[in-house]
Chains A and B, each alone.
Chain A
Amino acid sequence: MIRIFLLSALPLLYSGILLAQLPPNAEEIIKAVDRNLSARTTVLESKMIVHGRRATRTISSKSWMLGQEKAFTEYMSPAREKGTKMLKIGNRMWTYSPQTDRIIQISGHMLRQSVMGSDLSYEDMMEDPKLFERYNAVIDGEEIIDNIDCWRILLTAREKGLAYNSRKLWVDKERMIPLREELYAKSGKLIKSLRISEVMRVGDRWYPRIWLFKDELKLNSKGTEWIVDKIEFDLDIPEKRFTKSGLRK
């Protein structure tokens, strides 16, 4: 009886061992990445270091985000930018400048312009970071990045109308967080790159602490660093935070 049981269980056991040895599905990896990076709500304080041709500027800000739909950012320093606010609702965006006391809608081609001289565009800031729903993923290989074992994932647009036709991600096998990302145009030309040099533990998730964004079409660009000083997830944010009237307050 025992022999019969062992004989019948053997193929199942064998296939289980094989499954454990197989690499995870690319989509599972992307889902895990999304779980780390996305939250119901996010409140964060950060610094953006813009490396210009002549000088380097540091801009600090505080942001409140409600899923991927709504975001509100207030710039705290330097003095020139203090009080500048940005509001994103869906695919619309407004900025408020205290110097002019005016609210301006950013739309159309303005969305592709640089935010405060950085390598980031307004469109980049508005982009939904949830990759799984929008891209098909395949594992392109494995690579060691900064002594960390990573999956190299190739993403191709699942739907029409995405800003980037394809992306390449290097995902930390252990923490399931991208350490590098490359964004490609339809022609295959590399447009932007992203490098994460420090990761932090926040509750039960990993989150990038130091990011380096680079517009790869800009020759000699040193990129823009984005440092997350403090981040909290799933706090209750009042809905009135995300209103146009809140920009003037």
Chain B
Amino acid sequence: MMIFRLAIKNLLGAGMRTWLNVVVTSFSFTIIIFFNAMYNGMRQDTLRILLDTEVAGGQLWHPEYDPFDPLTIEDSHSIISEELQKMVAGNEAMPVLVRQATFYMNGRSSVGLMKGIPPGQEIVRMPLKVIGDYSGDYIPVVIGSGMSKKTGLRKGDLFTVRWLDALRTYDADEFEVAEVIKLDNYRLDRGVIWLSLEKMRELLQMPGEVTYIVLKRDHAFNNQADSFIYKDIEYFMKDIDSAIEADQVWARTIFGLLLIMASLGIFNSQVLSIFRRKKEIGTLMALGMTRQRIVRLFTLEGGLHSVLALFVGALYGTPLFYYLATRGITIPYGEEAGIISTGSLYPVFGPQLIFGTMLLVAGVVTVVSFLPARKIANMQPTEALRGKIS
């Protein structure tokens, strides 16, 4: 206890030098927490959106289907097993039919996907009820706001769609945008038009056929023998996890540099302390304090920098982080960066992150405080009293 009190007294007595080190260390501490919280937020945001809009309790893909390989889509459709048909009938699963198509609008053409789902489904957040209520003369579709922005299509606009049916014969018809909806998941928005599954099956001459199935959350499906292949949420999160992991390499480098900066300041001040306080060390030895206790005193003095840094960091970090976690940070990156997002990022500050970072900073600071203090172990009290280091 005496060592602790002495360490506090010495630390505060150092004045400006201590506070400069404390502020620099607190910056490192808060920046590391902030960036890691951003990554956590990004992952949780993506996970929530994917579950809500696309994955729910997992998907079952046609064996040929690979959404990242456009060459597979044309042949990825078939009738599903009886078990799955029962699940669809009981609203336990949602069938989706996918087909490539060419859209002609405003004198331009673009290639995209037609996706058919039951308009009344409640398994994912994809409000297509407006299609069921449509009473116009054309084929009603719903598009996302991103698709609307890119193509210039607005609610009520007509456009032509050309596709190949099941027999590989061209067909074309006039479609009407029944609604433009906000979709947080750009994968469901970019180049996609949504229409009624039954209408799409009729247009393509694919009665009862499906490209993939979305299972309800907490579903009981566990048939490994089914020809459709199960993909769970972890499969869909692989991309975002890989992206975060790749980005974290740079982030960790920056964290490392920040820690080195803070540590260098403390290391420097420790070396200086030992050099300037030789006589004090000699006196403490002469008064009977063992070398180990003196090393502990100096290490504690250095280590306490991190404790003060945590307090100082908490002083300005807590209100700032609270504000960011509740209000979010508007980052209009979404589609351009290939990130699924609502447009606002809410950093997530979990206890594991905060305590983990606290321990890391405290550990590093303690180690760099101990390294110069080791020199004390070799000091002779007589030489120390004369201001010499052997």
CB atoms of B74 and A163 under 8 A apart: no
Interface size on B, residues (CB 8 A): 24
Given known contacts A161-B169, A187-B173, is B160 in contact with A109 (CB within 8 Å)? no
Q: How many Cβ-Cβ contacts under 8 Å join chain A to chain B?
A: 75
> Given B71, B72, B102, which contacts A112 in the complex, CB threshold below 8 Å?
B102
Q: Is the CB of B109 within 8 A of A217?
A: yes
**Interface residues as binary, A187-231 with B (CB distance below 8 Å gives 1, 0 otherwise):** 101010000000000000000000000010111110000000000
Distance, CA A246 to CA B331, complexed state (A): 50
Q: Which of B73, B102, B108 neighbours the largest number of chain A CB atoms within 10 Å of its CB? A: B102
Residue of A162, A217, A220 near B172 (CB, 8 A) is A217
A220 to B104, CA, bound (A): 11
Is B335 part of the binding interface, using a Cβ–Cβ cutoff of 8 Å?
no
Determine if B70 is an interface residue (Cβ-Cβ < 8 Å): yes
The answer for the CA separation of A242 and B373 in the assembled complex, in Å, is 80
Q: How many angstroms between the C-alpha atoms of A217 and B361 in the bound complex?
A: 65
Cα distance A163–B168 in the bound complex, in angstroms = 6
Q: Indicate whether A160 sits within 8 Å of B169 (C-beta atoms), given known contacts A112-B164, A217-B162.
A: yes
Q: CB distance B160 to A165 under 8 Å? A: no
CA distance A157 to B169 in the complex (A): 10
Please determine whether A187 and B171 come into contact, CB atoms closer than 8 angstroms.
Answer: yes
Residues of A within 8 A of B170 (CB): 163-165, 183, 185-186, 191
- Residue A25 is within 8 A (CB to CB) of chain B in the complex: no
Report chain A residues within 8 Å CB of B100: 108-109, 112
Q: Which residues of B contact A110 (CB under 8 A)?
A: 70-71
| Bound CA span A39–B64, Å | 39
Asked if B167 is an interface residue, CB under 8 A from chain A, the answer is yes
Q: Does A107 contact B (CB under 8 A)?
A: yes
Q: By the criterion CB–CB under 8 Å, are A108 and B169 in contact?
A: no
Which parts of A141-184 form the interface with B (CB within 8 Å)?
Answer: 157, 160-165, 183
In the complex, are the beta carbons of A163 and B171 less than 8 A apart?
A: no
Say yes or no for B360: interface residue by CB 8 A criterion.
Answer: no
- Interface check A113, CB cutoff 8 A: yes
Residue B6 lies at the interface, judged by CB distance under 8 Å to chain A? no
Chain A, residue nearest B162 (CB): A217
> Are A109 and B73 neighbours in the complex by a CB distance under 8 Å?
yes
- Give chain B residues whose Cβ lies under 8 Å from the Cβ of A221: 107
The answer to whether B171 and A186 have CB atoms under 8 Å apart is yes
Q: Give chain B nearest CB distance to A194 CB in angstroms.
A: 15
Instruction: Report Cα–Cα, A225/B241, bound state, in Å.
Output: 50
CA distance A80 to B353 in the complex (A): 54
Q: Which residues of chain B come closer than 8 Å to A218, judged between CB atoms?
A: 104, 107-109
List chain B residues, Cβ under 8 A from A186.
165, 169-171
- B149-185 contact mask (Cβ, 8 Å, vs A): 1 or 0: 0000000000010101101111111000000000000
7 A/B residue pairs, CB under 8 Å, sorted by A: A108-B72, A109-B70, A109-B71, A109-B111, A110-B70, A185-B169, A189-B172
